[in-house]
Amino acid sequence: MDEHSIQKYGEIQYLKGRLDELHKAFPTVYNLERSRRLDSRIQKYYDKLKSVDEIAYHLYLVEINTRRKSKERSKKDMKSLLEEVLVTIEDGELKTRILQQIEKY
């Protein structure tokens, strides 16, 4: 592996790390003005990743979609499990807490 390849892979890892950080921060943004700024920052890193290596860019998009679908499936499974357990619970306070948690899903 030559020095250019090492530098390229390092840059890809850096860009993917920054994108992950920005995606984690994005759900906490409530201010529309800040949201637009954050969107432009995310887009800047996507553009840079695509310019460095287009294959890495497409693989990252697949990774993001897979991660999102996995989270949705986990939430669905958790909701189903909570609903199944709910009928066996007799404690009123615990039932209330479980119902509140189900509503969040």
Is residue 29 a part of any domain in this protein?
Answer: yes
Is residue 44 a part of any domain in this protein?
Answer: yes
Q: 102 versus 44: which is more confidently predicted?
A: 44
- The model's confidence at residue 47, banded by pLDDT at 50, 70 and 90, is very high
Q: Does the pLDDT at position 75 exceed 60? A: yes
Is residue 11 a part of any domain in this protein?
Answer: yes
**Amino acid identity at 22:** L
Q: Which of 25, 72, 27 is nearest to 45 (CA)?
A: 25
Between CA 9 and CA 97 the distance in angstroms is 47
Residue 54, classed as helix, strand or coil, is: helix
Q: For the purposes of burial, counting CB atoms within 10 Å of the CB of 11, is it exposed (0-12), middle (13-18) or buried (19 or more)?
A: middle
- The model's confidence at residue 30, banded by pLDDT at 50, 70 and 90, is very low
Element (H, E) at 94: helix 92-104
Is residue 37 a part of any domain in this protein?
Answer: yes
Is residue 99 a part of any domain in this protein?
Answer: no
